[in-house]
A and B are shown apart, each in its own frame.
Chain A
Amino acid sequence: MSGEIDSPRVRLELTSRPEAARLVRGMSSGAGEALGFDPELLSDVNTAVSEACNNVIQHAYSDQPGPFSVEFAVTAAGLEVQVRDYGLGIRQAAPDHDGLKVGLALMSALADRAEFIRATDGGTEVRLCFRAAAGAQPAAEPASGCASDPPQVWQARVPTGVSGDVVLTVSPVELLAPVLGRIGRALAPSAGFSLDRCADVYLVTDALGAHAERAAESTSICVALGAYDQLLEFAVSPLRAGTSRRLDDRTPGPGPEPLASLTDELTVSDVNGHELLRVAMRDHRRS
């Protein structure tokens, strides 16, 4: 895939509903722990990013929730987080809102650099840089994360057939299991899952992560998540052709429980020469 780079990147596209900040914290915590961030740094990152998300949720769109994205990029220079919306712009939305002022002050205090950019095509881009993250993960790329230049554009294209309220893209693929697990766990209450079934989410996301490591078509992977009434759905792509059909086998083996046994539906479809794996899990205990 063109545009891929070696340094770890995680991107979440979602809708500015109140619970969105929890999903972003799930992404941040999963990625930060997997990349070996210092716990204090990760705590600061979670706090600052939550404030950026709160601003989008509360101020970016006037009438109804709108789209926004959060991207983490780790380079030799540090961690750069971009939070991007397509709404009114912070200052037009609520220039004197106390919560907004506190949120902006917290972001500025916690990050080594915080920039609030009015995008030329509408909306706001918040860039937060944390230099202490440098060295958490060796990066082959030239440092761009905390440089004053605009960050390198990541061609995080969502594959055909993958769509949903929440779309996660990670690179390298090894980051999928820890990040997806935390996001799935944060999303499960939206589906009305019981605590027991919430715990099962980790088994499914671990299995999806393990399969993606074996079957991913490139060094990045994309997952769309959907939460409905007692139903969680995951759609994973792009996977190499012919790698996912055997997942339908429920025969217990010596390894971890088969994915088909952990989920209620499992379908594989061919899209533009690669495979799209969809799994659904329900909470039968509540029905």
Chain B
Amino acid sequence: MQGDFGVETHTSGRLTTLTVTGELDLVSSPVLEREIERANGLDTDLILLDLRGLEFMDSTGLHLLVKAHQSAEQAGHRLALTKGSEQVQRLLDLTGVGELVRIVESPEELLDSDHGP
């Protein structure tokens, strides 16, 4: 049972975006984990987890984000997140994970800063 959970992967140039929607929890975390592993195998510089459509995340999801950060570094990629719901952001702030991973407001902000001076 995945419920309303969804993840879509899109690659454009050197950026691979995983758009995550619904609830990231015990049930759905394995699905996202597989997609992140797949993205790590791509010829890409930057992996963006777009969490703007993520309504809820528990510690299972949090653990997965930390693991994704570590595995991206090992694969020679950079990982970034876009902000999720207030619940998601509160969880990231409370646990300090928000300081570990780069968080942007939107994919455009990430692309702008990447092409900046």
Contact = CB atoms under 8 A, between A and B. Distances in A.
A186 B27 CA distance: 12
A47 B92 CA distance: 12
A22 interface: yes
Interface residues of A, number: 26
Interface string B95-108: 10000000000000
B26 A106 contact: no
A57 B63 contact: no
A59 to B, nearest CB: 12
A218 interface: no
Given A99-B63, A186-B3, A18 B27 contact: yes
B58 interface: yes
A119 interface: no
B58 A54 contact: yes
Interface in A13-64: 18-19, 21-22, 25, 40, 43-44, 46-47, 50-51, 54, 57-58
Of listed A50, A54, A58, A98, residue having the most chain B CB within 10 A: A50
Given A106-B94, A106-B95, A189 B25 contact: no
Contact of A109 (B4, B27, B60, B94): B94
Contacts of B58: 21, 47, 50-51, 54
B86 interface: yes
A90 to B, nearest CB: 14
A25 B62 contact: no
A190 interface: yes
Given A40-B86, A51-B58, A190-B1, A21 B94 contact: no
6 contacts: A19-B1, A22-B25, A44-B90, A47-B90, A54-B58, A99-B59
